[in-house]
């Protein structure tokens, strides 16, 4: 197989973002997606459970109790998503060499040729402090995302919810 040689590319007025900027942009979009997913899940659940909420409120459940039910459920969704994300991140990070070898064996292409790059494997290091900050941020965002839907469910009018049941 012939070696791939780098070619000189003339400078262009188009600026290509660096890998670090793209990675930080993707990392900043993930918490937004988390919040949207939690809000949508809770709103759909409130719509499906509106008659149950109305019965609970008719039996004397306070707005705070109904709000607490949905806040706990949203928190559990956020906790589960965060745990899955952390485990997936650890799994991929600790197995980067294996992933690189698999890609090279399937494609037959050296993913990091020594003529271009100054390293032969992707560097990976897990910083426990950064992971802790990300987990804390994800949980704060999950708690924040539960507030609006849980308040909406708590303020549901029992008579209006049961009208069409």
Q: What is the pLDDT of residues 121-154, one digit of tens each?
A: 777 788 888 888 888 888 888 888 888 888 888 8
Domain membership of residue 3 (yes or no) is no
Over residues 58-66, the mean pLDDT reads: 88
Domain count for the chain: 1
Domain membership of residue 132 (yes or no) is yes
| 121: three-class secondary structure by DSSP | coil
Domain membership of residue 15 (yes or no) is no
Please choose, from the candidates 12, 153, 164, the residue with its C-alpha nearest in 3D space to the C-alpha of residue 73: 153
Domain membership of residue 50 (yes or no) is yes
Q: Which domain holds residue 141?
A: 31-162
Domain membership of residue 98 (yes or no) is yes
More confident residue, 42 or 90: 90
What is the per-residue burial (b if ≥16 Cβ within 10 Å, else e) of 70-96? bbebbbebbeebbeeeeeeeeeeeeee
Domain membership of residue 13 (yes or no) is no
Please choose, from the candidates 53, 82, 79, 81, the residue with its C-alpha nearest in 3D space to the C-alpha of residue 68: 53
Domain membership of residue 6 (yes or no) is no
What is the per-residue burial (b if ≥16 Cβ within 10 Å, else e) of 54-65? bebbeeebeeee
In whole angstroms, give the CA distance from residue 42 to residue 39. 5
Look up the pTM and report it.
0.66
Q: Which long-range contacts (CB under 8 A, 24 or more apart) does 103-111 make?
A: 108/1
CB-based contact 78:34 (threshold 8 Å): yes
Q: What is the pLDDT of residues 1-41, one digit of tens each?
A: 556 655 555 555 555 455 555 556 666 677 777 778 878 88
CB-based contact 143:73 (threshold 8 Å): no
In whole angstroms, give the CA distance from residue 20 to residue 6. 22
Domain membership of residue 124 (yes or no) is yes
Please choose, from the candidates 14, 23, 17, 19, the residue with its C-alpha nearest in 3D space to the C-alpha of residue 117: 19
């Amino acid at each position: 197989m012939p070696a791939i040689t780098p070619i000189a590319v003339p400078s262009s007025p188009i600026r290509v973002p660096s890998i670090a900027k793209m990675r930080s942009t993707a990392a900043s979009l993930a918490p937004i997606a988390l919040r949207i997913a939690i809000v949508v899940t809770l709103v759909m659940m409130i719509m499906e459970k509106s008659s149950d909420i109305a019965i609970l409120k008719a039996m004397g459940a306070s707005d705070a109790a109904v709000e607490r039910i949905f806040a706990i459920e949203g928190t559990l969704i956020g906790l589960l998503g965060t745990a899955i994300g952390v485990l997936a991140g650890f799994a991929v990070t600790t197995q980067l060499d294996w992933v690189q070898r698999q890609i090279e064996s399937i494609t037959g292409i050296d993913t990091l040729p020594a003529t271009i790059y100054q390293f032969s494997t992707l560097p990976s290091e897990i910083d426990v402090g950064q992971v802790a900050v990300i987990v804390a941020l994800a949980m704060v965002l999950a708690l924040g995302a539960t507030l609006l839907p849980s308040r909406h469910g708590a303020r549901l009018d029992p008579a209006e919810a049961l009208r069409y049941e």
